[in-house]
Every structure is written in structure tokens, then in C-alpha cells.
């Protein structure tokens, strides 16, 4: 089975390259990103990307999701996946910035879950992931707008 979870598509009043830079400015994630609280990666294809996320049950603390960089194509696509981290499950996430002109772009993110455990993961965490993805999209707009006013 496979399941696709997609964020809302947001329009951002800034050039795609600027939004790309904000999206990959991982040291500042704690200032604005409600879903991905910290990121550690070199962004080299094949290297790990460690994502610190809030607990899906809303409880105290965080958990670490180790994934692997697959595509870095500035300023439009960042792709990473779970690799062999979870036997029986593959999650492939894309973050996509689409230029809509010189000073405007859109952002969306989505993840495809496939494998033996995709149904169970989607049932248990699909709503959590969707809410997280939507919160990142909206927070990215707010972050870019705030930085643009400086």
C-alpha cells in the first residue's frame, strides 16, 4: 500500500531563491518552525538528515527521525527519505518551491509512505503529519515576510 500526505500550497511574496535560503537555514528553525524543531545535516546527497520533531501524542519531549538526503536542487526541490531506517516502510518527502515570477513563489511539501507498514503508519500518524506539514507551510510564509521587512 501507499499513502500520500500533502500540505496546503502557500504563495509567498518573495523570490524562490530567498525562500530556499530560509527553508535551509536550519540553525534558525527553533525561531519559527513549529513541526521541525531542529535539523542536523550536511545536505550532501546520501548523507543523513536528523529531524527533531514534537511527539505525535502531544506529550512532553521530542523524537529524532533520521532520514537521508536524495536530491538537493536549489531553489526548487529538496528530497529525503527514510532509507532502510524502518524495515517495511519507506517515507519519501519532497519540499517544493515553485517560482511564480521574479518576486513570488509557492511552497508545498508532501510525503509518500509505501511498504508493508504504510497503512498502519498512515492510520496512526497521518493526521499528525498533515497538521505538521500545514503548520510549516504557514510558518514559512510568516518567516519570509518577517525577514523581508528587515
Partners of residue 48 on adjacent β-strands: 68
pLDDT, one tens digit per residue, over 5-53 is 999 999 999 999 999 999 999 999 999 999 999 999 999 999 999 999 9
Residues 6+ positions from 124 with CB-CB distance below 8 Å: 56
Rounded CA-CA distance 16/110 in Å is: 18
pTM: 0.95
- At 120 the pLDDT is 95
Rounded CA-CA distance 113/2 in Å is: 5
pLDDT, one tens digit per residue, over 64-93 is 999 999 999 999 999 999 999 999 999 999
Residue 132 φ/ψ, nearest 5 degrees: -65, -45
Rounded CA-CA distance 138/150 in Å is: 19
Amino acid at each position: 500500500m501507499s499513502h500520500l500526505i500533502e500540505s496546503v500550497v502557500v504563495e509567498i511574496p518573495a523570490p524562490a531563491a530567498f525562500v530556499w535560503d530560509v527553508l535551509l537555514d536550519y540553525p534558525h528553525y527553533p525561531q519559527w518552525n513549529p513541526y521541525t524543531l531542529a535539523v542536523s545535516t550536511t545536505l550532501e546527497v546520501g548523507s543523513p538528515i536528523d529531524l527533531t520533531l514534537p511527539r505525535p501524542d502531544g506529550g512532553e519531549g521530542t523524537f529524532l527521525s533520521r532520514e537521508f538526503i536524495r536530491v538537493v536542487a536549489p531553489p526548487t526541490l529538496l528530497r529525503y527519505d527514510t532509507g532502510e531506517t524502518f524495515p517495511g516502510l519507506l517515507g519519501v518527502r519532497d519540499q517544493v518551491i515553485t517560482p511564480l515570477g521574479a518576486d513570488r513563489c509557492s511552497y508545498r511539501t508532501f510525503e509518500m509512505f509505501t511498504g508493508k507498514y504504510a497503512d498502519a503508519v498512515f492510520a496512526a500518524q497521518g493526521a499528525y503529519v498533515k497538521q505538521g506539514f500545514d503548520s510549516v507551510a504557514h510558518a514559512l510564509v510568516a518567516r519570509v515576510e518577517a525577514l523581508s521587512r528587515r
